[in-house]
């Protein structure tokens, strides 16, 4: 789960990371009021969306008067910002962050991510901040400093100092960087984060280290024990299909194809999408209904898949272990009737109570397309598309 910049800054500030003073605004007038309350001669107005690259997309501006703050904020509200990370659809701006401008002497990059190879938290840092880390890794990979943290000891002070020296910091800046690094690590570890990124982390002319931007994402599976983080979710920034699925406990990722997939198990889901591609089709989604799929849960999965208007065929592929094929079959029949389906539905069942499940499908009297193998199911789903078009 992603959160907004201002939310990430508030969290990091609570752990001791220095951040600029700022305020949230939901209207141009409120943005002007925030600037007046902050004082000073210059302010930065930032669109709050779940994406990087906002500056390049016209979502960030340095303003030197309250009127300029209000005018720029007015251009942002309701606007769809399109960045490299949002795709062509972009994300709509509903709120802006107004903060006091900083006197920047140097920009750094700092990121905490999960390194799956070492199964450890890794720090990635660079003395060249303010640009996308992907671009930096491609244009100047040697500028990146990497450090893996041993979970038994956590981030030690000597490691943090080594990283500060590697970034070219000296004097009092080293102690500030050590404090910032350890604060970010605590936030990552204690809140079940998946990423903490500060880009840029700046050194001011006054000799202070400040997090000028911040991005955090969290492990969705751990939100049940982090209610304070779950409350920060902004559904307006999510794919409506994925938001609907999350509300019903379904794992869903929207894709660009037209064959809707309802599958149990992430591995089987990936294999099914591969087989659809191999058969000449394109999956419209990744959807894992998980274990213990009741008829009601299967029906909700159909609703989620059909919320994508590009779907022309639904493929149900179940290998029942914890699940039961008869429950899934009842759910397919229930969904077909309740939702008044007219598009082709391909069903492949295997595992626990498979014969009972097949009997339910066969005796339903519905025009369901059945298959015995994954390859056969994928081929029949792809073949069913022209029938719908005709």
Please give the sequence-ordered ranges of beta strands (E in DSSP) within the chain, or none if there are none: 22-25, 43-47, 60-63, 80-81, 91-92, 96-100, 104-115, 120-126, 144-149, 193-204, 209-211, 215-218, 251-254, 259-263, 285-288, 313-320, 345-351, 369-371
**304 preceded by a cis bond (ω within 30 of 0):** no
Q: Return the SS3 of 251.
A: strand
| Residue 231 falls in the annotated catalytic set | no
**Is the distance from CB of 248 to CB of 304 less than 8 angstroms?**
yes
Tokens representing 319? 């290998």
The catalytic position among 109, 188, 252, 336 is 109
Sole residue written with tokens 């703050």: 69
> Residue 142 has which token pair?
């040697």
Q: Is 132 annotated as a binding residue?
A: no
Residues in contact with 290: Cβ distance below 8 Å, sequence separation at least 6, in sequence order: 249, 250, 251, 264
Per the annotation, the verdict on 109 as an active-site residue is yes
- 46 marked as part of a ligand binding site: yes
DSSP state of 292: S
Q: Is 162 annotated as a binding residue?
A: no
54 is in an annotated binding site: yes
Q: How far apart are CA 180 and CA 110, in angstroms?
A: 10
CA 306 to chain centre: 22
The single-letter DSSP state of residue 77 is T
Residue 107 labelled as part of a binding site: yes
What phi and psi, each to the nearest 5 degrees, are found at residue 377? -65, -45
> 3-class DSSP state for residue 152?
coil
User: Does 154 count as an annotated binding residue?
Assistant: no
Q: 213 a known binding residue?
A: yes
Yes or no: say if 38 and 22 are a contact pair by the CB < 8 Å rule: yes
Q: DSSP secondary-structure letter at 283?
A: B
Is-contact 21 12, C-beta < 8 A?
A: no
Quickly list DSSP for 105-142: EEEEEEEEEEETTTTEEEEEEES--SS-HHHHHHH-GG
Q: Is 71 annotated as a binding residue?
A: no
Residue of 197, 242, 330, 379 marked catalytic: 197
Instruction: List the binding residues.
Output: 46, 53-55, 99, 102, 107, 199, 213, 264
Catalytic residues: 109, 197
Q: Which residues are documented as binding site for substrate? A: 264
Q: Which residues are annotated as a binding site for ATP?
A: 46, 53-55, 99, 102, 107
């Amino acid at each position: 789960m992603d959160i907004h910049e201002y939310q990430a800054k508030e969290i990091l500030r609570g752990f001791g990371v220095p951040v600029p003073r700022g305020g949230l605004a939901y209207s141009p007038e409120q943005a002007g009021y925030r600037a007046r309350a902050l004082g000073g001669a210059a302010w930065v107005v930032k669109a709050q969306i779940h994406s990087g690259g906002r500056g390049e997309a016209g979502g960030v501006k340095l303003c030197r008067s309250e009127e300029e703050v209000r005018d720029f904020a007015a251009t942002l509200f309701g606007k769809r910002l399109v960045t490299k990370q949002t795709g062509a659809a972009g994300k709509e701006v509903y709120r802006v962050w107004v903060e006091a401008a900083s006197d920047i002497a140097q920009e750094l990059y700092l990121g905490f991510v999960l390194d799956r190879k070492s199964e450890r938290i890794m720090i990635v840092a660079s003395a060249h901040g303010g640009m996308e880390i992907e671009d930096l890794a491609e244009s100047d990979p040697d500028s990146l400093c990497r450090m893996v943290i041993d979970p038994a000891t956590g981030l030690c002070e000597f490691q943090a100092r080594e990283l500060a020296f590697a970034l070219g910091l000296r004097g009092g800046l080293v102690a500030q960087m050590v404090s910032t690094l350890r604060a970010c690590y605590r936030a990552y570890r204690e809140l079940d984060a998946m990423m903490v990124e500060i880009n840029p982390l700046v050194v001011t002319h006054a000799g202070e280290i400040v997090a000028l931007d911040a991005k955090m994402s969290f492990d969705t599976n751990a939100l049940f024990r982090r209610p304070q983080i779950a409350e920060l979710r902004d559904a307006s920034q999510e794919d409506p299909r994925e938001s609907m699925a999350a509300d019903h406990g379904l794992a869903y990722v929207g894709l660009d194809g037209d064959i809707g997939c309802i599958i149990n198990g992430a591995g089987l889901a990936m294999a099914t999408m591969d087989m659809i591609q191999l058969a000449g089709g394109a999956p419209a989604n990744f959807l894992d209904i998980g274990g213990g799929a009741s008829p009601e849960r299967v029906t909700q999965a159909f609703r989620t898949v059909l919320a994508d208007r590009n779907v022309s065929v639904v493929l149900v592929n179940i290998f029942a272990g914890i699940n039961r094929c008869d429950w899934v079959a009842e759910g397919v029949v229930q969904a077909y009737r309740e939702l008044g389906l007219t598009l082709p539905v391909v069903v492949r069942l295997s595992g626990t109570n498979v014969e009972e499940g097949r009997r339910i499908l066969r005796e339903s009297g519905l025009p369901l397309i059945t298959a015995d193998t994954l390859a056969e199911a994928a081929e029949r789903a792809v073949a069913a598309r022209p029938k719908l078009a005709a």
